[in-house]
Amino acid sequence: MKPKRGEIWFADLGIVAKPRPVLVVSWKDPDPPRVLLTYIPLTRQNRGSAYEVPLGHLPFLHKDSVANVQGIGALPSVRFERKVGALSDTDMASIEAAILYSLGITPH
């Protein structure tokens, strides 16, 4: 199973010696130049900034979660270990808006 946009996976980020929950934000590119997936890390620490999107309690995670768009990164697909769920279209739209804000991009 390959990670898809909007899915939440546990991925090996190379820190803390355990997989962490991440949201896949890469779009499905039929011919990618590299086998990297872009992700947003999920955390429990909500600092109330515009760079965070509160997700509340997701049924597949133990605590309330926040998507931290400042932590955007990319990993090889082999580092995505286990799918645990997916976000709603509404949550994805909020995260997309926060990503644009964090990069200083104004939607047309």
pTM over 0.85: yes
Average pLDDT over residues 24-45: 87
Q: Which of 21, 11, 97 is nearest to 66 (CA)?
A: 21
The CATH fold assigned to 7-103 is: SH3 type barrels. (2.30.30)
Report pLDDT digits (tens) over 8-22: 999 998 877 789 999
Share of the chain above pLDDT 70, in %: 99
Report pLDDT digits (tens) over 85-96: 999 999 999 999
pLDDT band at residue 34 under the 50/70/90 scheme: confident
Report the pLDDT value the prediction gives residue 10, as an integer from 0 to 100: 95
CB 81 within 8 A of CB 19: yes
